[in-house]
Structure 1
């Protein structure tokens, strides 16, 4: 959205709600504005990325996904405004994930939430063809990295172990920017941890969700603490003995995805991404621990 259009849209929203709105974030898919009690997420009429939802469809889709995930009480409304989609939610009294604010209560909250989320069954199973295509894609993008080629070869040996896994409802983007931690002093009835940005939620392997949580959020704690937290979460699952081994595939694959993304989209950050993520990917695979 151009600046004039954003200003006009913001004015219309402020008239609708009777309160000033201040910018909160500008994500890859939407702009977010807020008051003390509400958050307005605005999806432009056209997608920011190919094959991404936009406009009113995106706003209604996210509202539906939140309700499906058990967060319907946080949804206020979703509507269309001059071709834009607007999702209005109650504002969670918290801030983005930060290691110094991650308490045992927040870990327990994440564990319970993901366990319940991943108990929502979906049609279909994890596609072997899709897994092989991803490995082929990452192997091509990272063709000049010997460690990446070696890791892709190892992961090919696990495709049949992961393929055929029954799918469940997954968030599919639980990185640190989408994980909020409750403010000190907030109402104790509010969860200690909360997930936002549900537009990408869809059927997938729960182990993939947890791999993204590990690489994009828990790793901020440091590798030993991240592994401890990941174990704690998985141990709460009824199918923990079969879920845990799949992480040996999904966690390294997620690191490969991140390196692929930097080379394709932000090449100036590629070298530092490789320096950070490649050793973690190799260690997680080679030193994969028992649950």
Structure 2
């Protein structure tokens, strides 16, 4: 990456690569993290300085502004510099009760930030139709799509809140045991944050992060988080729609983006989606 030497010269430090996401490459050095966005990404996602500034603004809006150092342009690239969190990606072994409480409090605060508009019925119908078409040859997936359609009425019209929209395990950091003065967990990668249904955020958190804890522990953790909200029951009921829909989305993604992993994704995710929906009434909050 041609801007790397210039960054190292500007900050007088050696930068080493970290695991990066789809939008940017990430490097670390002396207590800082450098997220480098290429000049352009896709028509639906900004690149360069626009992406760097958007993520910095979203972090600040989410109450994480203290982690932002600066965002600037360099040779057409956008560079977001943040303080480095003394932790690592979510694992079941490192997930403590304190980390779950931190996530619960954080998402409850985040989702208290009201946004204009409501969840679109047309968008929900479009997504179900899209997943149904992609998974046309899976009878159980078709059955699940049919079960979810009547629940659109329960979700459409929900007031939107500020949402992360991608809280999978790769975007959840847990602090090292010896670290002091930092939260027990930190949510990173804010470039995709937008207004949405808070239940969708929690569904992605469930399917992409909490389920690593195991079935019973994941359900207990989800309930623990939902109960932190001022009005938990409506949020809980909407998860009957969003959790199975998220599993359908994941299978759709594998078939369209990584077909080699599609068969394994179906074997893992379809039974979980069916079980969550079919047993939801018995789960209770």
Pick the TM interval, shorter chain: over 0.9
Q: State the Cα deviation string for residues 65-86 of structure 1 (Å, max 9, x = none).
A: 0000000000000000011000
CA RMSD of aligned residues (A): 0.6
Is the partner of 1:157 in helix, strand or coil? helix
Q: Which residue of 2 aligns with 1:196?
A: 188
Runs of 4+ in 1 over 6 A off after TM superposition: none
The alpha carbon displacement at 1:50 in A equals: 4.3
Unmatched 5+ stretches in structure 2:
none
Q: Which residue of 2 aligns with 1:42?
A: 36
Give the count of matched residue pairs: 283
Of 71, 77, 82, the residue aligned with 1:89 is 82
Q: State the Cα deviation string for residues 55-114 of structure 1 (Å, max 9, x = none).
A: 100000000000000000000000000110000000000000000000000000000000
Q: Which residue of 1 aligns with 2:16?
A: 22
Distance 2:224 2:234 in 1: 15
Q: State the Cα deviation string for residues 193-234 of structure 1 (Å, max 9, x = none).
A: 000000000100000000000000001111111100000000
Of 188, 208, 232, the residue aligned with 1:240 is 232
Mapping 1:59-78, distance limit 5 Å: 59-78=52-71
Matched, 1:228 2:258: no
Distance 2:39 2:216 in 1: 44
Distance 1:270 1:59 in 2: 33
Is the partner of 1:100 in helix, strand or coil? coil
Q: Which residue of 2 aligns with 1:124?
A: 117
Distance 1:214 1:200 in 2: 18
Of 208, 215, 222, the residue aligned with 1:216 is 208
Aligned 8 A contact 2:13 2:30 in 1? no
Matched, 1:107 2:100: yes
TM-score, length-normalised on structure 1?
0.96
Is the partner of 1:28 in helix, strand or coil? coil
TM-score, length-normalised on structure 2?
0.98
Q: State the Cα deviation string for residues 219-277 of structure 1 (Å, max 9, x = none).
A: 11111111000000000100101100000000000000000000000000000000000
The alpha carbon displacement at 1:26 in A equals: 2.6
Q: Which residue of 2 aligns with 1:3?
A: none
Of 245, 262, 266, the residue aligned with 2:258 is 266
Distance 1:175 1:241 in 2: 23
Distance 2:277 2:89 in 1: 29
